[in-house]
Structure 1
Amino acid sequence: MDETTAPPDDLEYRNPPGTRVTYRARQRRTDHTVWLGLALHLPSFLISFALVLTAAVFLDVLLGVPVWLPTGLWAASGALAFHRPTERLIARHLFHLHRPLPAELATLAPVWREVTARAGVDGGRYELWVEDGDGLNALAAAGHIVAVTKRALRDLPTSQLGAVLAHELGHHTSGHSWSGTLGWWYSIPGRCAWRVLSRLKPRLRHAARGASLTALTVVVILTGYAAFATLRVTYGLPLLLLAVPCLAAAVGRRAELRADAHAARLGFGHSLALTLRERLAELSAAQGPAARSRPGARLLSHHPDLGTRLEHLEKFL
């Protein structure tokens, strides 16, 4: 499609099939948000490790299984998050994605080819997926998953679809996707334990109602003393865990802004800004004044609000 016939909002395909494209020698890198994110996942990793170690000790006592075996297998299991068959299971059963149908692939593949060619990245290393969603959304996960919603494929012009894909490619090439996947993977034992405790909460409340006031007072005093003793011995360091969700959310917001910058540097800044403005107008029309989230919710959100993203994009336009 030449420039004289292409509509203003259409993507010009400068790298058709068969054209020679030079790939960068270093296709991925890691920025500071990756290392900060991994550091903030350390507490959940340690909690999960303690749970796995406890289970390993029980297996050793009951069945004679060496303690190092289950703990070692768990420590090495993170590699499965980048194993292609495991990634496909994650895509299908966790994110509920499907591989593009022929008509969807006909729209998606040339845009992805253009985006990756501009970035000097081998697009064949990644797998394209589609989500049956009504939102204008996309995601990058594990080591090779790139997905967009059906609505994005249906409603977005190719230039805006390219901007969305360039944003997700930025998450991959900057290391945000693999670091987030590792953090999620190694926190699974801790999250499972928390879910079990949440289900036991009604029974604990029922047991507390049947307990005497003296017994409850003793439990509260002992718990408070144990907490105070722990804080005193550790110089209050466990209190820092209270700040981890806020810090992790701040790192996530920074990663989103860096992915926006990546898309803008590839020439998709105007298209991405247009997409964000349309999304902001849609939210404002649907929710009215409630479209602006509360400060507390913004503090814990891993995505910056659309106005902030547009403000940071201005310097690239």
Structure 2
Amino acid sequence: MTKPSESPGPPPEYPQYPQAPPAPPTRVPPQGRPEHDDLDYRHPMGVRVHYRARQRTADAAALGRLALHLPGFLTSLLVVLGTAMVGEVWLGLPAWVPTALWLVSGGLTFHRPSERFLARHLLRLHHPLPSELAVLTPVWREVTARAGVDGNRYELWIEDSDGLNALAAASHIVAVTRRALERLPEAQLAGVLAHELGHHTAGHAWTGLLIWWYALPGRLAWRALAAAVAGLVRVASAFSYVAAGVLIVLFGGIATATLALTYGLPLLLLPLPYLAAAVGRRAELRADEHAAALGFAPMLSRTLHDVLAEESRACEDDGLLARLLSAHPDHRTRLHHLQRYLADQR
């Protein structure tokens, strides 16, 4: 497949291709894998694919997540700067050097070797076996061709998990669980991959990794502080409950004084987790819309029904607080938003 020369004028956001008549499968499915279902999503060989000039953007959900995590970034910056200043006293290294290195370290999220290290050691992903790659590659090519995206820019990975799931991470990582690869028909697998491609093209994946990385120093400092305070209270309570009470009152006074000096601004951080989770749920719906606009709404809907049936058998019911803090909408909500695409295709 070769890239044609760019034609004048902006290309359509979701290019349409001629529909192909149903064709029998050209290979035998692996052992235990479902046969092709009645959803023919493939295009005839020889269709010329026009890649979009701008294959990635940052939509409102991605920019909103960055804005909401700005306080976390500033907190981490203060932690790094404070640690660097201590290092300058003890080691003589100028404080701006480690601080500047930390600021530019976010560029590693776009560095392929760093992404592979992340995939293996943090996300616990594996390279696909040849038989698994034989299943994934043609499906991924179809999805990226419909989207007008160069699929060779991304790397396909496998997650050893029993869930029917997939993920998009960093700038080039697309992974599916082993169970999804073995259990889902190719049409449904295409719908799942189209959803993950939507996270990449909308900027959700790389912004998510940047947010995690730049918030890490502040998160670690907060956990260390909380552990230290809890440890001091436990030690004090071992000697005297009065001493433990004095420590609690002391820390409470420090917190109250801090709020007074900052005019209560730290209180604005309390709703941020809920707002960030709401924006994350919106990002998931946007990824569903991306898959549906490419024609994969029926496939994605079937997969969501399967997952919903499994959850119903497990009788899982999260509380209201857990749902508000979840970055993923419930499957019924996702199915509701897919209904208009299903109606358009009838």
Q: TM-score range by the shorter chain?
A: over 0.9
1:78-106 CA-partner distances (Å, limit 9, x unpaired): 00111000000000000111111100000
1:150 corresponds to: 178
Q: Equivalent of 1:139, from 145, 167, 174?
A: 167
SS in 2 for 1:147: strand
| Preserved contact between residue 38 and residue 179 of structure 1 (Cα < 8 Å) | yes
CA distance in 2, matches of 1:133, 1:224: 44
Percent identity (aligned): 59
CA distance in 1, matches of 2:244, 2:312: 49
| Paired letter, 1:112 | W
Q: Equivalent of 1:297, from 318, 322, 325?
A: 322
- With structure 1 as the length reference, what TM-score do the two structures score? 0.92
- Shift in CA distance, 200/222, structure 1 to aligned 2, threshold 3 Å: closer
CA distance in 2, matches of 1:230, 1:308: 41
- With structure 2 as the length reference, what TM-score do the two structures score? 0.85
- Pairwise CA RMSD of aligned residues? 2.0
| Preserved contact between residue 2 and residue 12 of structure 1 (Cα < 8 Å) | no
1:315 corresponds to: 340
Out of 187-196 and 68-77, give the one that drifted further. 187-196
| Preserved contact between residue 88 and residue 95 of structure 2 (Cα < 8 Å) | yes
| Preserved contact between residue 234 and residue 244 of structure 2 (Cα < 8 Å) | no
SS in 2 for 1:304: coil
2:193 corresponds to: 165
CA distance in 2, matches of 1:212, 1:50: 36
1:76-133 CA-partner distances (Å, limit 9, x unpaired): 0000111000000000000111111100000000000000000000111111101111
Out of 200-209 and 98-107, give the one that drifted further. 200-209
Q: Equivalent of 1:241, from 269, 274, 280?
A: 269
Task: Give the superposition deviation at 1:215.
Answer: 4.5
1:270-290 CA-partner distances (Å, limit 9, x unpaired): 1101110111011111x23xx
| Preserved contact between residue 52 and residue 148 of structure 2 (Cα < 8 Å) | yes
The structure with the greater share of residues assigned to helix is: 1
| Preserved contact between residue 143 and residue 178 of structure 1 (Cα < 8 Å) | yes
Q: How does 1:12-91 map to 2 (within 5 A)?
A: 12-14=41-43, 16=45, 19-91=47-119
CA distance in 2, matches of 1:15, 1:179: 36
Task: Give the superposition deviation at 1:191.
Answer: 2.7
CA distance in 1, matches of 2:230, 2:208: 33
Unmatched 5+ residue regions in structure 2? 1-19, 26-35
SS in 1 for 2:270: helix
| Paired letter, 2:41 | E
- Shift in CA distance, 256/153, structure 1 to aligned 2, threshold 3 Å: same
| Preserved contact between residue 233 and residue 244 of structure 2 (Cα < 8 Å) | no
SS in 1 for 2:128: coil
Number of aligned positions between the proteins: 313
- Shift in CA distance, 292/236, structure 1 to aligned 2, threshold 3 Å: same
Unmatched 5+ residue regions in structure 1? none
Task: Give the superposition deviation at 1:213.
Answer: 5.5
1:116 corresponds to: 144
| Paired letter, 1:147 | A
CA distance in 1, matches of 2:264, 2:231: 32
